[in-house]
Amino acid sequence: MLLAIDMGNTRVNAAVYEGANLIGHWGMPAQRNLDLSSFAVVFGDMLSSFRLGFKNIDSVIISSVVPSNDDGLKNFCTQYLNCKPLFINHTNIGMKIAVDNPPEVGADRLVVSFAAYKKYKRSLIVIDLGTAITFDCIDNDGVYLGGPIAPGIGISSDALFYRAEKLFSIEIQKPERVIGRNTTECVQSGIFHGYVGLIDHVVAGIKQEMNSDPYILATGGWASLLSGESKCIHSVDEMLLLDGLRDIYSEIR
């Protein structure tokens, strides 16, 4: 069985696959500088929830944007799973990368771009609404073109509450009206509608530069919240990155 791990800045997500079939998926808040024993506990509990153990995993593929956790992951895979993990980067993703400095591109951006093109076989913009909001552009030939990065909803809202003494942390959700009638509604409206506007405006600019009609696919933790209000998003795929890791592994093993 294959263990696919998405090591992000805000969350760690993982899934177990048997061939093309998903056995189960799981997630938790991210932590930094985790060591061998920490990963043993984390993934031991995850596998137990799927009624599996370490002996059931024979392959691991990883997308990581948290370098401080990479050594712990490698040691865990070697000592507990008896396998060498495959870390995805610009050298092994299996697609052409047309940017100035390919090593700078995050593994997560490359994986979702690969997965989206494999599924749709056309030009795309993949909007990953996580810690940051990334717009990944892929042309009709499957070439990765890069794309804008903006602060994510969590980063912006945390900064607002930290900097403004009279504001307080609230749950981010779609408000009933644009003109809020209390502080909670006002903040919800500003963040929700502000980010919908950001998405639609950035996508419009990208489409002009791409000179094509790309399919707009959203993923990440905030995708479901914002996609219904956006005028440009065609669909949401919350499993895009993990399924992409599975597909990459099946092609290069």
pLDDT, one tens digit per residue, over 39-57 is 999 999 999 999 999 999 9
Say whether 108 is catalytic.
yes
Query: Burial letters for 220-229: b for 16+ Cβ neighbours within 10 Å, e otherwise?
Result: bbbbebbbee
Beta bridge partners of 14: 5, 26
Cα–Cα distance for residue pair 200/214, rounded to 1 Å: 13
170 with 222, same domain: the answer is yes
**Averaged pLDDT for residues 9-25:** 93
Whether 166 shows a pLDDT value over 80: the answer reads no
Provide the token pair at 232.
């440009």
Give a yes or no: residue 93 inside a domain.
no
Same domain for 153 and 180, yes or no, is: yes
Place of tokens 């804008």: 148
Question: Residue 125 is part of which domain span?
Answer: 102-245
Per DSSP, the chain holds a count of helices (H) and strands (E) of 7, 11
Q: Please tell me whether residues 235 and 125 are part of one structural domain.
A: yes
Verify that 122 and 167 share a domain, yes or no.
Answer: yes
Last residue of a domain, one of 87, 118, 141: 87
C-beta of residue 158 within 8 angstroms of C-beta of residue 193: no
Kindly state whether residue 194 falls inside one of the protein's structural domains: yes
Q: Stretch 230-244: mean pLDDT, rounded?
A: 95
Report the amino acid identity of residue 38.
S
Judge whether 23 lies within some domain: yes
Q: Given a cut of 70, is residue 167 above it in pLDDT?
A: no
83 with 107, same domain: the answer is: no
Name the pLDDT band for 175 (thresholds 50, 70, 90): confident
The answer for residues whose C-beta is within 8 angstroms of residue 248's C-beta and 6 or more apart is 61, 88, 93, 94, 111, 114, 115
Residue 48 lies in a domain: yes
* Residue 82 neighbours by CB under 8 Å, 6+ apart: none
169 and 229: one domain? yes
Q: What is the pLDDT of residue 160?
A: 75
Residue 250 lies in a domain: no
**Which of these, 7, 6, 247, lies nearest to 115 by C-alpha position?**
247
Among candidate residues 230, 201, 206, 205, the one with its CA nearest the CA of residue 218: 230
Looking at the structure, tell me whether residues 64 and 159 fall in a common domain.
no
What does pLDDT average to over the chain? Answer: 92
Encoded tokens for 156 = 């912006």
What distance in Å separates the CA atoms of residue 146 and residue 138, rounded to the nearest whole number? 8
CA distance 50 to 24: 6
Query: What is the amino acid identity at position 119?
Result: K
Q: Is the pLDDT of residue 187 over 70?
A: yes
Task: Evaluate whether residue 95 is within a structural domain.
Answer: no
Could you identify the residue written with the tokens 């944007």?
65
Instruction: State whether 80 and 145 are in the same domain.
Output: no
Which contacts qualify for 169-174: CB closer than 8 Å, 24 or more apart? 172/222, 172/225, 173/225, 174/225, 174/228, 174/229
- CATH number for the domain including 145? 3.30.420.40
Among the three residues 41, 63, 87, which one is the final residue of a domain in this structure?
A: 87
Question: Do the domain assignments include residue 192?
Answer: yes
Looking at 37, 59, 87, the residue that finishes a domain is: 87
Measured distance CA(249)–CA(3) in Å, rounded: 10
| Residues 6 or more apart in contact with residue 26 via CB below 8 angstroms | 13, 14, 15, 46, 49, 50
- Same-domain pairing of 150 and 240: yes
Q: How many domains does the chain have?
A: 2
Q: Are residues 22 and 66 in the same domain?
A: yes
Q: What is the pLDDT of residues 94-138, one digit of tens each?
A: 899 999 999 999 999 999 999 999 999 999 999 999 889 999 999
Report pTM: 0.91
121, 238: one domain: yes
User: Catalytic pick from 6, 100, 108, 237?
Assistant: 108
pLDDT digits (tens, 9 = 90+) for 77-87: 999 999 999 99
223 shares its domain with 130: yes
